Amino acid sequence: MQEECVSLQVCVSVVGALECVVRRCLGPDGGSVLFTRDTGESLISRHGRRLLSTLQLQHPMARMVLDCVCAHAKATGDGTKSFLLLLAALLRGIQDSHMERKGSLSIPSFQNLANRLLAVSRKELEDVVTHKLTPYASMYCSHRSYRLEGSILDLLIGGFISGRVGIGQADVLKRVLCEFYHKVSQDQNAVETISFIQSHFSFLHTAVTGLPTACSEVIEGLVVTCDWSVWTELQGPIKALIVYESFGASFVTVGENISVCIQKDYLHRSESVMKQKLATLLDLQVDVVLSSVKQPERVSQWARLNHVSLLECVDSAQLDFLSHICAAETLSHPPLQHLVMLKYCRRVQLGGHRYACLGTFLHMHTLVLCAPAPGFLDQIVCVSQGVFAMLQHLSQSFCQTLASDQSQSPSSDQSQSVLSSQDLWGGILHAGGVLPVGGMFEFLLHHFLLNERNSCDPESCKLLAEALLCLPRTLYSHNHRRFLNIQTRFLDDLKQWEKTKEKRSEMPELKFGFGFGESSVPCLESVSGKKQLVVSVLQCLHRLLCVGAILHTRSPLRTGPQTHSEEDEEEEEEKLKRSNSTPSTEG
């Protein structure tokens, strides 16, 4: 077993290497990364999770960081690039403070520092965000609400995708995603709509390569990525049968005695069983058959003669989803599984492919995402799914806050379980749940942490505050003077704002462009998502600093709970006895 010592320099080098990959892709002005292989295969992307998952990470610390990044991105939508930038800045800040002291930090010292930083995320960070940053965001958005033209949802989606796709793709993608949300929602419960889209996004979108992004659209109905084997024009309500096995499957069920018969009798009996099954379909007045497997040619011929549409090789998970949303009627005799009522059945042409489209009475819609190349298409799909993960995290955080406020003031009659879109996004805006994108959260948190008077650990707060500025500094890396001018002007206006915050009529206009133009409407980002980013980074830093050594072993690693039975113990004892009883040979 080989042992490898871990030092602070190793952590800085490993995280710094990952940071170099994603740094150039941050923000609207960021670029993309081109991956190539010896086989000639190439991939162009600027999506953080996609970049890291494509790398072949050998170092155990790098893989541990990747696990932390993926766990955070799964909960909040993304934040991969900001995660690595902030983590690298914290490690370099610890290294610089160590160099200034000219001393040696031992492993217990690292662990103590990691515990202190984790305590900051639980106390100081929570207090600052709840009692200072959120009220400030509420006043800021209320004061500027007359400039937030259009939907708050549009600004949130625009802020999320602006730094994750190209400038030309951002406007198209924002329009399509907003349209998709509103068509699925239809003025229903906004929280449930977001959760529904996020949970079933794989069934509610179709990716099409070979078309420009501007061809992305929202189609009514559920698109199935396979064409009809037998197609018949049908009108009115349609009765569809969902099957998961072949009509020509073996007629011998489990548990029956199998008798050997000649081929002619077998074929005759098999044909008779199939005719009975198909006759049952006519008795049920089935118009469409949706099958997850390839059916025999005899079934296709029967469908053509009886004017029944047949769709084969459909993903079984997609059929389960269709059964769920249509409240399917389950049949007892196999292989007839479920009966559903459809509004219509169509054929749609998407690029060079022809697909089936199933209309439901719940007015389901499908998000069609297009891109000219597979790499760009994968990036757009990941960003689109990340949008709804971000919206879900934001809406759940708001509902938890609303529930907490209602428990403290029972007189409130608004319930978080029946929030419309207008109530949800308007409530989030006035509750201080959003801020303009581009570094405003980092500047505010930096300012409040440095001026936190009730802090039990001012040194750790200062370390975190200085590291936070790495994000806006990287956003304006192409013009460092602009970053300094924005920081100075923002802090000056912030001090003037705090002096007059009691008199809202005398509040100064807080000028905050952040790369989107002084006169343009700023896009928004989630405060709860940014707070979770800081907490996740500090938790990952805690894991890194608490590692004292790396042991390389060839035995399989067991991460789950280990249960030892008596049989396992007896086997181990037998192996030990055999090894001890083996005579040694001497030369």
Cis upstream peptide for 296 (omega within 30°): no
Mean pLDDT of 575-585: 53
Alpha helices (runs of H) in 251-348, residue ranges in sequence order: 263-283, 297-305, 316-325
Lowest mean pLDDT among 174-188, 193-207, 242-256: 242-256
For the chain, the distance separating the N- and C-terminal CA atoms, rounded to the nearest angstrom, is 29
Given a cut of 50, whether residue 514 has pLDDT beyond it is no
Q: Which long-range contacts (CB under 8 A, 24 or more apart) does 340-343 make?
A: 340/239, 340/240, 340/242, 341/237, 341/238, 341/239, 341/240, 342/237, 342/238, 342/239, 342/240, 342/288, 343/221, 343/237, 343/238
CA distances from 305 to 240, 298, 437 (A): 17, 11, 61
Residue 485 is predicted with a pLDDT of 82
Question: Is residue 411 within 8 Å of 440, Cβ to Cβ?
Answer: no
Q: What is the dihedral of CA 148, 149, 151, 154, to 10 degrees?
A: -80
Given a cut of 50, whether residue 87 has pLDDT beyond it is yes
> What share of the chain has pLDDT > 90, as a percent?
39
Mean pLDDT of the chain: 82
* Half-sphere exposure at residue 251, Cβ-oriented, CA atoms within 13 angstroms: 15
Which CATH homologous superfamily contains domain 2-149+395-402+426-502+524-549? GroEL-like equatorial domain (1.10.560.10)
Residue 502 is predicted with a pLDDT of 56
Residue 146 is predicted with a pLDDT of 42
Please give the structure tokens belonging to residue 99: 């160099």
What is the CATH class of 238-250+259-342?
alpha beta
Residue 242 is predicted with a pLDDT of 93
Element housing 242 (H / E): strand 238-243
How buried is 100 (Cβ within 10 angstroms: 0-12 exposed, 13-18 middle, 19+ buried)?
exposed
Residue 258 is predicted with a pLDDT of 47
Task: Name the 3-class secondary structure at 34.
Answer: strand
pLDDT band at residue 252 using 50, 70 and 90 as cut-offs? very low
Whole-angstrom distance, CA of residue 356 vs CA of residue 245? 20
Whole-angstrom distance, CA of residue 475 vs CA of residue 264? 76
Given a cut of 90, whether residue 173 has pLDDT beyond it is yes
Instruction: Locate CATH 1.10.560.10 in the chain.
Output: 2-149+395-402+426-502+524-549
Instruction: Locate CATH 3.50.7.10 in the chain.
Output: 238-250+259-342
- pTM here is 0.84
Given a cut of 90, whether residue 206 has pLDDT beyond it is yes
Cβ-based neighbour number of residue 496 at 10 Å: 13
Better-scored residue on pLDDT, 555 or 115: 115
Task: Name the 3-class secondary structure at 346.
Answer: strand
Residue 43 is predicted with a pLDDT of 83
Mean pLDDT of 125-137: 90
Better-scored residue on pLDDT, 402 or 157: 157
pLDDT band at residue 490 using 50, 70 and 90 as cut-offs? confident
Pairing relationship of beta strands 344-350 and 353-359 according to DSSP bridges: antiparallel
Whole-angstrom distance, CA of residue 364 vs CA of residue 358? 9
Q: Tell me the per-residue pLDDT of 516-529, one tens digit each, with 9 for 90 and over.
A: 344 455 788 999 99
Residue 334 is predicted with a pLDDT of 62
Q: What contacts 548, CB < 8 A, 6 or more positions away?
A: 5, 6, 107
**How do the residues of the chain divide into helix, strand and coil, expressed in percent and rounded to 5?**
55, 15, 35
Whole-angstrom distance, CA of residue 145 vs CA of residue 429? 9
Residue 356 is predicted with a pLDDT of 95
Q: Tell me the per-residue pLDDT of 33-75, one tens digit each, with 9 for 90 and over.
A: 888 888 888 888 888 888 888 888 888 899 999 999 999 998 8
